[in-house]
Amino acid sequence: MLLVLGGAVTPLTGCDLFDRDDQPAPPPDPLRPMVDESLALAAAYRASATAHPELADRLNPIAETHTAHATELARVIGVTVPSAASAAPTAAPAADPSGARAALRALEKTAQQSATAACAAAPAERAALLGSIVAARATHQEALK
């Protein structure tokens, strides 16, 4: 326990002593979480398409859309797209197709809300991209009905 505590304290002391002039790290880009959110949505669609092959024709194009959103968001904020494996693990798809579709609709609804907030707060040069992402998430809910 003491050792762990010491490990945590030492670098901090070092900072104070030697790195006083360092600027604090820039805050993470507010769109960074949306990259992960898009990748997680893509993963959820792929998992449902695997579990319910009869839905694959409908779900796979939407999964590709979410991946395209992640790619575009990453380009805008200047980061590389994390590998799909780093997307947050999603819950297992529902056993029945209609339950799986309902679960994806609920994910899209929440994601639409977060993108709406991001669009409202965005500078001009990002507003159109975010607006398209909001609209895409809304159309996915319609397509899943």
Partner 1 sequence: MRQPSAGEALAAALSAEYAAIYAYGRIGVRLSEAARDAARQAEAAHRRRRDALVVQLTTAGGVVPPDRAGYALPFPVTDRASALRLAAEVEERTAAHWRAALASTTGADRDQALAALVEYAVRATRWRKTAGQTPLTVPFPGRPT
Positions 13 through 52 that interact with partner 1 (CB under 8 A): none
Minimum distance of partner 1 from residue 108's CB (angstroms): 11
Positions 83 through 122 that interact with partner 1 (CB under 8 A): 116, 119-120
- What residues contact 139, with CB distance under 8 A and at least 6 apart? none
Which own/partner pairs from 130-133 qualify as long-range (CB within 8 Å, at least 24 positions apart)? Answer: 130/31, 133/34, 133/38, 133/69, 133/73
Q: Single out the residue of 10, 11, 53, 64 in contact with partner 1 (rule: CB under 8 A).
A: 64
Cβ atoms within 10 Å, residue 91: 9
- Cβ–Cβ under 8 Å, residues 63 and 49: yes
Minimum distance of partner 1 from residue 78's CB (angstroms): 19
The verdict on 56 binding partner 1 (CB under 8 A) reads: no
Binding site for partner 1 (CB under 8 A): 57-58, 61-62, 64-65, 68-69, 72, 116, 119-120, 124-125, 127-136, 138-140, 142-143
